[in-house]
Amino acid sequence: MPRSAGAACRLWPAPHTSERHLPPAHPPSSFVADRLARRRLGVASVVFFVVAAAAPLTVIAGAAVTAVAVTEITAVPVGYLVVAIGLAVFAVGYVAMSRHVVNAGAFYSYVSHGLGRTFGVSAAAVALVAYNAMQVGLYGAFGYVGSLVLGAFGVTVAWWPCALVGWAIVAILGLLDVSLNGRVLATMLAAEVLIVLIYDAAMITHPAGGALRFDTLQPDQLLTPDIAAVMVVSVAGFVGFEATVVFSEEARDPRRTVARATYIAIAVIGLLYGLSAWALSVATGPEHLVARAKSEGPDLMFNLVLPYVGQSLVDLGKLLFLTSLFAALLVFHHTVARYSYALGRERVLPAAFGRVVRRTGAPKVGSLAQSILALGVIGTYAVAGWHPMENMFALLTTTGGLGVLILMAATSVSVIGFFSRDPRGESIWHRLIAPVAASLFLGGLTIDTIIHFGSLLAPASSQWVWGFPIAYGIAMLGGLVWAFIVRRWHADIYARIGLGVEEPPGSPKPPEPSRHHAVI
């Protein structure tokens, strides 16, 4: 920021001892020197970003089969469909709030507006841990699958050189024009979805026993005592769809683009997952699905379609498995960079994080910082000799999914708080009924996930894995402490938390929690 911007724009201005001197709720735009690239993304581009983050081929070939093997429950197809409905209900309030709050900070901003700035900073800490865990954990799978693909061509290489190649490409693309990244993801995603649909058609048209069976889609499957574990795994498959809001500042029309992209992404992901998981059960026969999932793992889908599509399409599918992981890596990198940018812009993080690449509008410091962190983790795992799938991919991505689940539950409650002060023309369905239902659904899943966290990581389960859920408690507490410090010593910065660059006309100021309320 130019020196002429004055003392009000310094990273750490003179401390204020009283909040009577808070600045106006709508700060001047000069408070922020750099802005993200504006009006670059349409509905299709945002959908490509968030569906690519969900990594359909990775989830279907990997997570869905693993869920069946670990839980020994065949209800995964109906689980995906039910979760899609639940997340669509969550999206009602989420999208309603996006019409009034446009901020790349997404969960951080929404919690700030709905529950207060202090809790908003706590949510920001959780978001940084969660999305970094998701992104970095994916490098383990990318490196492992990359080494297998090269091995098929007679080239023997360890997982970590493959991971480093992916890391270098992501680091470069993270600094380029977001619309260019959208085109890259569109190409990868189109090929990925097409091959999945071809595989689905092959499995459905060649059912085990010669007859289509719908056992795994029956609603009574939901009455299974251990269905909660399936639901938790199913939710993890959708992680990434909520990032529509992260790209709102770069959307051509934030009010419409975010809403349409969110609903389209949930529908596409839910239907694709449900169809594909059901197709797997059709090809194996429901009674044999668990046994084959246990014995064949991620190769199950490829083995089932090989007799009908040929080796070439199977090899292509395995290659697209790799690009699916890369696409998810790229999207989560962008998500972390934009969270860091939003926090740096409002001085919750150092101001440098609020800088962008002048030519492309991409978050500069946030992108570089994420790349450095990922490089450090890859190097650590490589030197320590830890398994990239069990100790890196499974552990870190499951941990990241837990964090996103916590944030979605908190955001549902925040939507209720936001509209309780001013309905802003939203119907009672958008501002109360749907958010309450989503809060109960996501809150219950969050509690169940924490209780069964160890069992969700069967290969890597040991006492020390509980350190990862505990890390969220530490992150929450650290965010609360930091918010109190900023509130006490940097009141002008505290007043801007969650506001972003420009507030839509009439947007309310984030609520100020009472000094007498206990923090829990």
**How confident is the model over 149-174, as pLDDT tens digits?**
898 888 899 999 999 999 999 999 88
The rounded radius of gyration (Å) of the Cα atoms in the chain is 23
The sign of the dihedral angle between the CA atoms of 387, 389, 391, 396 is positive
The answer to whether 61 and 301 are in contact (CB under 8 A) is yes
Give the Å distances, CA to CA, from 49 to 136, 186, 261: 18, 8, 10
Residue 116: name the closest of 417, 511, 514 by CA.
Answer: 511
> In the numeric block, which tokens belong to residue 73?
């429950």
SS (H, E, C) 84-121: HHHHHHHHHHHHHHHCCCCCCCCHHHHHHHHHCHHHHH
The residue type of 230 is: V
Q: In angstroms, how far is the first alpha carbon of the chain from the final one?
A: 37
Confidence of residue 19 (pLDDT cuts 50, 70, 90): very low
- The whole-number pLDDT of residue 271 equals 94
CA dihedral of 2, 7, 13, 19, whole degrees rounded to 10 = -130
**How confident is the model over 400-416, as pLDDT tens digits?**
888 999 999 999 999 99
- The whole-number pLDDT of residue 123 equals 95
Of 198-207, 217-226, 388-397, give the range with the top mean pLDDT.
198-207
**pLDDT at residue 33 is higher than 50:** no
- The whole-number pLDDT of residue 305 equals 96
- DSSP classification of residue 240: T
Q: Would you call 60 exposed, middle or buried from its count of C-beta atoms within 10 A (0-12, 13-18, 19+)?
A: buried
Burial string for 316-337 (b: 16+ CB within 10 Å, else e) reads: ebbebbbbbbbbbbbbbbbbbb
> In the numeric block, which tokens belong to residue 335?
């998500």
- The whole-number pLDDT of residue 345 equals 87
**How confident is the model over 349-399, as pLDDT tens digits?**
998 998 888 887 788 999 999 999 999 999 999 999 998 987 888 788 888
Full-model pTM: 0.82
Give the Å distances, CA to CA, from 253 to 99, 124, 373, 448: 10, 25, 33, 38
